Amino acid sequence: MTQVNELYSLYEIDNEKWLEKTLKLLKEKQLESLDIEHLIEELEELSRRDKKTVERFLEQIIRHLLLLQYWTSEQEYNSNHWRAEIMSFRTQINEDITQNLLNHLQDNKEKIYEKALKYVKQKTGMLIDCPEDCPYSLEQLLNQNWLP
C-alpha cells in the first residue's frame, strides 16, 4: 500500500492523525505523498467555516446597531447591553479578519443585513421602522469606536 493510500485510509479513521501527517508531508515538501482529495475537501471546509463565522459576527453587530438606533422605547434599559455586545462582536470579528474575509463580507453585506433585519423585526414585534437596505458601511460596522 502506498503512502497516499495509507493517508487516504487514515482520513476516515483518525482525522487528527491524518492532519498531523499531512502537515508533516507539506513541511517536508513531499507533495507526491499527499492525499490531495481530502486536503482540498478540508481547505474548502475551512474556508466555508471562516466565512460563516464572520457572517454570524457581522449579523450580530448589525442586529445590535439596529436595536440601539431604532428601538427607542427600550434604549434606556438596554443601550448599555447593546453597546457591550457590539463591542464584543467587533473585537471577535476583527481578531480573525483577512482581506479575503473582508471582501466576502462586502459582497454579502446586504444578505447578512436582511437576516439581521428579519430578526430585529421579530424581536421588536414589528414596532420599529428600520431601513430595508443596510444604512451602515462595512467600515462603520467593523470600527470599534463608531456608533450611529
Instruction: Write down the domain spans for the chain.
Output: 50-142
SS3 19: helix
Enter the C-alpha cell of residue 65.
446597531
Question: Which amino acid type is present at position 72?
Answer: T
Convert the pLDDT of each residue in 49-58 to its tens digit. Answer: 999 999 999 9
CB 94 within 8 A of CB 142: yes
pLDDT tens-place string over residues 73-97: 999 999 999 999 999 999 999 998 9
Q: What is the pTM of this model?
A: 0.87
Residue 125 three-state SS: coil
d(CA 93, CA 102): 10
Provide φ and ψ at 128, rounded to 5°: -115, 155
